[in-house]
Amino acid sequence: MNENDTGKPLLDMPEKVRLIIQRETEDGLRRFRAGNFDSRLQAVGRIRPEETKFAPSPFSRVWIPIFGLAVGAIVIISAVLWVSRAKSQLPAANPVTIDAALDALPGFRTLSLSRQTEPAANEDISRATAAMSAALASATRSAATWKETSAPPSGNLVPRYSLEQKMKILFGDKTIEQALSLFKEKFKEV
């Protein structure tokens, strides 16, 4: 049993182990030969197809219920989505009716009336805005004049204002103060 087919040295099996295997094999074969293996195998070979016909495979046992559950879940989700979509597509309520209903509310009515009866505040704001624009325009003009007359030869384009000029721009006509005070009063009212 320990011959070497390729010429390389092989470790011999210990005699004891070899005898155990030999004895086990002989005993096993004796019982195997007495067991009528051939007819048993033929019988199993014939019975097996009928058994498999009635017993579903593990694959079927696991996957068919999962597939059924998945289909059921898809159907339910589709039905829910269809119902919610159908609800959202119902004809919208008449906007004129909603508008009228909102106008009928006391708070909204007061607001719309106050809008119609208080044009004076809006006029104040526009007047202040115009004044501020005029002040800024005059400041720009004076800056341009200063630039023409006193631009440094180095080519520095940033205008340099004296403190007096800055004060005049900001507070000379008090337009900013007036505009801010008007805005302040307006926001207080709101």
Contact residues for other proteins, defined by CB under 8 A: 1, 4-6, 8, 10-14, 16-18, 20-21, 23-25, 27-29, 31-32, 35, 37-38, 40-42, 44-46, 48-49, 52
- Taking the complex as a whole, the smallest distance from the CB of residue 57 to other proteins amounts, in Å, to 12
Q: Which is nearer to other proteins, 32 or 171 (CB)?
A: 32
Q: Please classify residue 131 by burial: count the beta carbons closer than 10 Å to its beta carbon, then call 0-12 exposed, 13-18 middle and 19+ buried.
A: middle
Determine the 3-state secondary structure of 161 from DSSP: coil
Torsion of CA 22, 25, 26, 27, to 10 degrees: 120
Q: Which is nearer to other proteins, 37 or 171 (CB)?
A: 37
Q: Are the C-beta atoms of residues 132 and 189 closer than 8 Å to each other?
A: no
Which tokens belong to 112?
């719309």
- R_g of the chain computed on alpha carbons: 51
Q: Which is nearer to other proteins, 39 or 94 (CB)?
A: 39
Which tokens belong to 142?
């004076």
Q: Which is nearer to other proteins, 55 or 81 (CB)?
A: 55
- Taking the complex as a whole, the smallest distance from the CB of residue 84 to other proteins amounts, in Å, to 52
Q: What is the rounded distance in angstroms from the CA atom of residue 122 to the CA atom of residue 184?
A: 13
- Taking the complex as a whole, the smallest distance from the CB of residue 15 to other proteins amounts, in Å, to 11
- Taking the complex as a whole, the smallest distance from the CB of residue 61 to other proteins amounts, in Å, to 19
